Amino acid sequence: MKQEKSDINHLYNPTKRLPAVLLLVVFLFVAVFVKMFAVIILDGGKLQMKAIDQWLRDLPTDAPRGSILDRNGNVLASTSTRYNLYVRPSATPDKPAVAKLLSNVFGYDYEKTLEKISKRTSEVTVATQVTKEQLNTVYESGLSGIYYSEDNHRYYPYGDFMTQVLGFCSTDGFGQTGLEAYYNKYLTGVNGQIMTETDLIGKELGAGTYYLPSIPGMNVITTLDSGIQRIVDGAIAKAVAMFKPKGVACIVMDYDTGGVVALSEYPSFDLNNVPRDDLEALFLHSKSNIVSSVYEPGSTFKILTAAAALDAGKVTVSDRFYCAGSRTVDGKRIRCWKAKGHGSINFAEGVEGSCNCVFMDSALRMGTEQFYNYLRNFGLTKKTGIDMTGETSGIFIAQDAVKTVDLARIGFGQAVAVTPIGLISATSAVMNGGKKVTPHLLSVVKDINGNTVGNTGITSSGGQIISQNTSDTMRTLLESVVTTGSGKGAYVPGYRVAGKTGTAQKYANGAIASGKYISSFLGFSLSEGANYAVLFIVDEPSGYMYYGSQVAAPLVGEIFASMFDYLGIEPVYTGEEAEIIGEKFSLPDFTGMTVAQARNELAKLGLYCETDGEGNNVKGQYPEAGVTVDKRNVVLLIT
């Protein structure tokens, strides 16, 4: 019996459970401590923010977007402040008075407005894009329960101006195209907040309002010049009126630095009235064809063929060629633009007269490998790296697939497709001493205090592509194109201008499209203080005139003349130039003459001519007989 009692005492001995109880208590204390540590230390900030969020009502204040400026400080894109209005029903004791005020200021329906602000909700938006004057009218009423937040309205002072290059923003202020998209990270600021203490149902506690200011976006200063852009826009408007084309594009670039000075395209639209309801038109007219579309350049490409052949030592300016009006390569007849041929000419005369046979022979002398090496060095086979969205690269036949006939056609600008920005970038190296340049629009980025942000501008040039001697020779050859050749329309008395015309046929469904051409002129100013390249492209000009010499060259001449005046560069006249300026005369009638007779008469007058057709007799002419002209005019003989 005693033994059983002893066993029971041993079984229920409390000292045996004490360690377990103590261990449980310690575990609970540790768990509570860990939880307190997690709540106070680890999650304290988050929980505090949740608490603040529960008793604070906040309204966002949009940060002003940075401005886009041209190189002279003119604002191209800016931000004006607008306001959004909110009503908090719980903080609005006199709802009928507020509804009447809003309907009077904004033209709202009173009953619908009263119903809207009477809903059981924390707050309701009653107006957006409110002006400062409207906001003042609302707050001068003294009615409570109405709150506001700042909003930003993107504004373009010049409207339909640099549409493709500037781009536009979405309704919430995010850059979507052009520079607005490319430099969105600089232009976008940091939003602020207006916070008010409220109870659970949103009624103000009277503890005050807290304001967290926004940080404005940075300003982007570009290489663009709004003055030169206006000149270009005027030339494009003239081209549209004269030729009723499908499209027109022009880019002006400093060929020493690669800085884009002007970029304009037609059709376009007013950036203050973006056609968001017509997505097809929006896409077509907002993308830059200068950067994102390729075309067959035609004779403007001959600048690169000539430079490569001279630099490689495959031709000299005195080498002679014979043009009978065509070449037969790989059994295929390739015609020169001059059906009757240029006869025996040297290389310099071939450049001046844009003889296809001379450039076919030049390309064939180099061979595919050497010619393609030059094209790669010129940067034509890849993107230029311009700071615009949507750039594409040129399209070339794969080097190992190039046939002899292909190489011959490439030599005079067929069987290739390039972007306008790629062409003007490549040819800039021909004119600037042989240096590769990167086309760009950004000059510098500055913060709200005017401080420069990092090394944001592109100023460095690439490597040497051709020699200085080759560049000097090409400048002389291309200047003769303007003074005495097909580019006479771009001639500006008192100034030195070089260039090359281009007339390319268009293709549809793999075949040449009848009557559809791309007329272009690529000009370069050689006068000191204006190292600019101008590429002017007219897509499908209507009517008889489609040669680049007649359609594009005169407009480039007008652009250069206006640019020289705008930049304050004084002309320096030679005796012959003074004679050209003063001598205007009535154009004779060449109808009924043979082509040879008409050419002789035009040569006596100092006029360059083009022919349309392969007939022997002149059936018509442009300009028409009796029109007042000077020696800069190019005459089209219709045969």
The residues annotated as belonging to the active site are 299
Q: Tokens 């001995």 sit at which residue?
A: 13
Please tell me the distance from the alpha carbon of residue 313 to that of residue 383, in angstroms, as a whole number: 28
DSSP per position, 111-155: HHHHHHHTSSSS-EEEEEEE-HHHHHHHHHT--SSEEEEEEEEEE
Please tell me the distance from the alpha carbon of residue 576 to that of residue 75, in angstroms, as a whole number: 43
Here the tokens at position 465 are 């592509």
Please tell me the distance from the alpha carbon of residue 405 to that of residue 413, in angstroms, as a whole number: 13
Angle at which helices 110-117 and 95-106 pack, to 10 degrees?
Answer: 130
Here the tokens at position 389 are 């969205």
Tell me if 440 sits within 8 A of 255, measured CB to CB: no
DSSP per position, 221-273: EES--HHHHHHHHHHHHHHHHHH--SEEEEEEEETTT-BEEEEEEES---TTS
Cis before residue 216, ω within 30 degrees of 0? Answer: no
H or E segment and range at residue 282: helix 279-286
Burial class (CB in 10 A: 0-12, 13-18, 19+), 211: exposed
Residue 211: strand pairing partners? 194
CA 433 vs CA 303, 308, 422, 436: distances in Å: 14, 13, 18, 9
The closest alpha carbon to 76, from 287, 176, 185, 225, belongs to 225
Residue 532: strand pairing partners? 254
H or E segment and range at residue 578: helix 575-582
Please tell me the distance from the alpha carbon of residue 268 to that of residue 285, in angstroms, as a whole number: 5
Q: Tokens 């609970």 sit at which residue?
A: 28
Please tell me the distance from the alpha carbon of residue 456 to that of residue 467, in angstroms, as a whole number: 30
Please tell me the distance from the alpha carbon of residue 335 to that of residue 340, in angstroms, as a whole number: 10
